Each structure stands twice: as C-alpha cells, then as structure tokens.
Amino acid sequence: MVTKHVSAEVKAKLIAVDEVGEDEIFQRVADGMDKLTLIKSLGIGYKLFDKWLDLKSGRRQAYEQARHEASHFYAHRALETAQKSEASTAAADRLRVDTDKWYAAKLNAEYDTRQRDVAISVSINDLHAQAAQLLASVNGDIIDGEAIEVNDDDDDER
C-alpha cells in the first residue's frame, strides 16, 4: 500500500487513515463533511490526503462519487433553510442558502442554476463567401428579370 519513498511519519499517518477505513471516510464525505474538516479529523493535510486517494486504484473515483452524493445534502439543506427562514434571520439565511446552493452546484452540475450565455457571431465576410460559393455551384446560371409592382387594384381592372 505505502510507497517506498516516504518517511516513517508519513507511512504511519497513511496507515492510520487506512485504519479509519475507506467506507467510513467516504460516508463522512457523502454526509456533507467538507474536505478541510475531514482531513483535520484524520490528522493529515491536503497533499497527504490526495496521496492516500491515489495509492489505491478506484479510491479517487469512490471519493468523487461520495462528493456527488454530498451535493444532495447541500441542496436539501439549502431548501430546509429557505423554508424555515424567518424575517429576523432572513439576511443570514439567504447567505446560508446561497452558499449551500453554490457548493451543491460545485459538487454536482445538476444543481447549477446559473443561466448559460450563448454567444452567436455572424461575420458578413462569411455570408459573402457563402453567397459566392452558391453562385459558383449553379455555374452562374442566374435568371435576370425585373420586378413589377402589383397591387390589389390591378386585379379589379382585368
């Protein structure tokens, strides 16, 4: 499990994390524990936690799945906070709701409610090039004619 190029202290910390167990760690994440709180509870830092995730095949994917599950926790908490809000705590509750919605969206794009901007650009030069290509495709066979104005009064005279 532990690589050869780490100190005895790092090995001991990795073994301690393994003793907690993947299931327990990933359940904490799925239940809404953020990464900082998690690594503090494990007595390690970000870098060592990431090393632990990568030491075993499939572990990082299991962690990402737990984070995805946690998104439902944050979305539900945002909804609960909004529903239980009172006038005296409305400003603070709104901040909690916005924060939980943001975090749920970071963990799961399904909860991302931001409006997507669609940019469309049309170039006149492109339109001219397309028109020239169309003209070339009909070999220059264009019917010339003159338009005459027709109005409803002309039909009555015939």
pLDDT in tens, 82-109: 999 999 999 999 999 999 999 999 998 8
Average pLDDT, the chain: 86
> Containing H/E element for 7?
none
* DSSP annotation string for 55-99: HSTTHHHHHHHHHHHHHHHHHHHHHHHHHH--GGGHHHHHHHHHH
Using 50, 70 and 90 to split pLDDT, how confident is the model at 69? very high
Residue 155: predicted pLDDT: 57
* pTM, 2 dp: 0.64
Q: How far apart are CA 112 and CA 91, in angstroms?
A: 22
pLDDT at residue 158 tops 70: no
CA dihedral 133, 135, 140, 144 (to 10 degrees): -170
Distance CA 100, CA 102 (A): 5
Which domains does the chain possess?
Answer: 8-111 (1.10.10.60)
